[in-house]
Structure 1
Amino acid sequence: MTKQAVLIYKTLSLISGCCFFVFIFAAPATAQTRGRLEIVKDSRIDTLIARRYAPRKGGATGNGYSSFGYRVQFFTGSSRRDAFRAQTQFQEQYPDIRTYISYREPNFKVKAGDFRTRLEATKLIQQLRPQFSMLFILSERINTPLNIAPTTND
């Protein structure tokens, strides 16, 4: 083969390759039409979704919803009697705030509140500082407080 024939062969193969790719990618774009999508699923899937988002029964506040938030830990110690004493002391001063006692060997921990923001927990810590010496803010699953009356802009 001569140089001219090789050059013609390369040019034709390049042009035919480009045309091939244009044809492959351009043809489906022009052949698309609007269609209808039909979803076929088991009816039990809807039941599972409804169960997932339904309120749980038996929550500490009775509403059954929970999310992540903050609690203030105000007592840690190995004496059960001291833990209940600290809980009673707290509830006498703040009867509207729920308290929780947990035991993880060897210590009892007493926590208070179901706060959505860290700022709310910090406000409680400032109020508790004179009564309790060891105060911590803990991030954990809380019982979501109910909104008593939704605000409306009338």
Structure 2
Amino acid sequence: MVNKGILIGIFFTGIVFSSQAQSGHVEVIKDSLITLLQEFRADNDLNPTASRRIKVGSAVNKTTGKRVKVKGFRVQIFSGPNRNDAYAAQARFKSQYKNIDSYVNYEEPNYRVKVGDFRGRDEANDFMRVLRNQYSNVFVFVEDIWVYE
């Protein structure tokens, strides 16, 4: 036989612990250096996912701008084993979007065509939605991109 007092004590202890767990209080413990790093990146514009919108198709003055390499995003519009198909997809894209750069690279066994130099993921996603009506298998990738400042 189990002592009823012990069972009642265990039951009430369980209620107390579960009510404490559901109190809605969350304690965040982090190193103070994380906050300093976040502030430094914000002050020095080092956040690759920060959204700086540039209108799709807008012209950039490449003669006066400084070309820099940063982490950013590109939209893949083609992936396949046929080189001619890759270059045909690139030519088709260039005829539609004259102000947006396109890149063909080979990663065995496929050729890939990626377009754009987007600093923000949301900007790349917006352009990807536009391209989904024109190309199949469209994806956004994180890459080193070249931009003019």
TM category, shorter: 0.5 to 0.7
| Match runs of 1:84-95 below 5 Å | 84-95=87-98
Q: Give the number of aligned pairs.
A: 86
- The 8 Å contact of residues 74 and 111 in structure 1, kept in 2 or not, is answered as yes
Partner of 1:133: 136
1:118 to 117, 121, 125: 121
Q: Distance in 2 between matches of 1:94 and 1:127?
A: 12
Report the CA distance between 1:64 and its aligned residue. 3.6
- Structure 2: gaps of 5 or more residues: 1-61
* Aligned twin of 1:106: 109
CA deviations 1:51-74 (Å, max 9, x no partner) are xxxxxxxxxx78441010000011
From 48, 68, 72, the equivalent of 2:71 is 68
Greater RCO (Cα-Cα under 8 Å, separation 6 or more)? 2
- Secondary structure of the corresponding residue to residue 65 of structure 1: strand
- Give 1 or 2 for the bigger CA radius of gyration: 1
Q: Any unmatched runs of 5+ in structure 1?
A: 1-60, 147-154
Does residue 83 of the first structure (1) align with residue 83 of the second (2)? no
Q: Is the 8 A contact 1:69 1:116 kept in 2?
A: yes
Q: Which residue does 2:36 correspond to in 1?
A: none
C-alpha contact 1:72 1:113 (8 A) present in aligned 2: yes
CA contact (8 A) 2:67 2:148 kept: no
Normalization by structure 2: what TM-score?
0.55
Q: Which runs of 4+ in 1 moved over 4 A?
A: none
Query: Could you tell me how far apart the structure 2 residues matched to 1:127 and 1:64 are?
Result: 27
1:114–1:145 Cα contact (<8 Å) kept: no
* Partner Cα distance (2:67, 2:120) in 1: 20
Question: Identity over the aligned pairs, expressed in percent?
Answer: 42
